[in-house]
Amino acid sequence: MIECFPPIIDEDSQILIIGTMPSVKSLDAREYYAHPRNAFWKIMAMLYLNGAEFSNFAEKKACILAHQLALWDNLRFCERNGSLDSNIKNMIPNDFESLLQNHPHICRLIFNGQKSFQIFKKFHPELLEKYQHFVLPSTSPANATLSFEKKLALWQEALKI
């Protein structure tokens, strides 16, 4: 069984970005989206740092919180060989009901990929009725169907408050 990270969230967070489960690289690094070819932090850098690179994970977390964002993954525990979402088995979901009750300023959910949305819908369909939500193209290097520029444009639109 692998375990996800705690959420990155504070009392000012308004948009919750939801992934599936950290990749092997992320689990090894103990950081969200640590795979060097995952576009997540590059997108955040383009949107919030004029494209400048982050120095470390502490800077990344500070940027997320400074822009009223939050991060968490769908699954608290699961089994998975490798990093592909398609290999996920024996899912145990995170408690989004409690998280959202404890953070009433969250008004929008953004799903990092279709698999993230499908898992959330399976375990928390009632929350989808309460919150505005967007399903965005995955930032994973496994998702090569869209160009970086197209992903960036879609993420930029969804992240507007």
Percent of the chain surpassing pLDDT 90: 90
pLDDT of residue 161: 57
Active site residue 143: no
Would you list the domain boundaries of the chain?
2-158
pLDDT digits (tens, 9 = 90+) for 86-127: 889 999 999 999 999 999 999 999 999 999 999 999 999 999
Helices (H) and strands (E) in the chain, counts: 7, 7
- Which of the following is catalytic: 38, 74, 94, 112? 38
Classify domain 2-158 by CATH number: 3.40.470.10
The answer to pTM > 0.85 is yes
pLDDT at position 44 is: 97
Query: What pLDDT sits at residue 160?
Result: 85
Residue 106 DSSP SS3: coil
Q: Please choose, from the candidates 84, 66, 56, 64, the residue with its C-alpha nearest in 3D space to the C-alpha of residue 16.
A: 64
Q: Contact, 79 vs 89, CB < 8 A? A: yes
Residue whose entry in the numeric block shows the structure tokens 């995952």:
38
β-sheet bridge partners, residue 73: 19
pLDDT digits (tens, 9 = 90+) for 42-66: 999 999 999 999 999 999 999 999 9
Whole-number pLDDT of residue 84? 79
